[in-house]
């Protein structure tokens, strides 16, 4: 009987796998950007993005961490306390501005100063 070869033993197999992973990551990032671009949403949760893209919530979280140049975390959360994400190109919404103002005012009142 002849020797069996595994795909991983073939020349260029590792490079092909890495190329495939890179293409998959690129298409997954594109899908996330598409989900965040939908006009009917100002913000998206990880689970909302996962549902729209078919990616796992863990994969969405991982990729969002790599996309900080295109995606920002809103300074507000949803009613359940989940982080919200949007495109960096989108302007801050009124509720984000109000949250910033409340934080600024709380810090300015001198609370906790003797």
pLDDT tens-digit readout, 16-74: 555 545 568 899 999 999 999 999 999 999 999 999 999 999 999 999 999 999 999 99
In contact, 49 and 61? CB cutoff 8 Å:
no
pTM of the predicted model as reported, rounded to 2 decimal places: 0.67
Domain-wise residue ranges, the chain = 27-108
Closest CA to 97 of 69, 76, 68, 82: 76
Residue with token string 């965040």: 36
What is the separation of C-alpha 77 from the centre of its chain, rounded to a whole number of angstroms? 15
- Average confidence (pLDDT) over 68-91: 92
Domain 27-108 has CATH 1.10.760.10: no
Beta bridge partners of 83: 77
């Amino acid at each position: 009987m002849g020797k069996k070869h595994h795909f991983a033993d073939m020349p260029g197999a590792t490079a092909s796998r890495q190329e495939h992973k890179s293409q998959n990551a690129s298409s997954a990032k594109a899908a996330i950007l598409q989900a965040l671009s939908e006009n009917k949403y100002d913000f998206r949760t990880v689970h909302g993005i996962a549902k729209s893209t078919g990616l796992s919530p863990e994969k969405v979280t991982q990729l969002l961490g790599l996309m900080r140049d295109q995606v920002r975390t809103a300074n507000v959360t949803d009613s359940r306390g989940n982080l919200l994400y949007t495109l960096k190109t989108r302007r801050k919404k009124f509720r984000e501005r109000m949250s910033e103002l409340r934080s600024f005012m709380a810090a300015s009142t001198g609370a906790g100063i003797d």
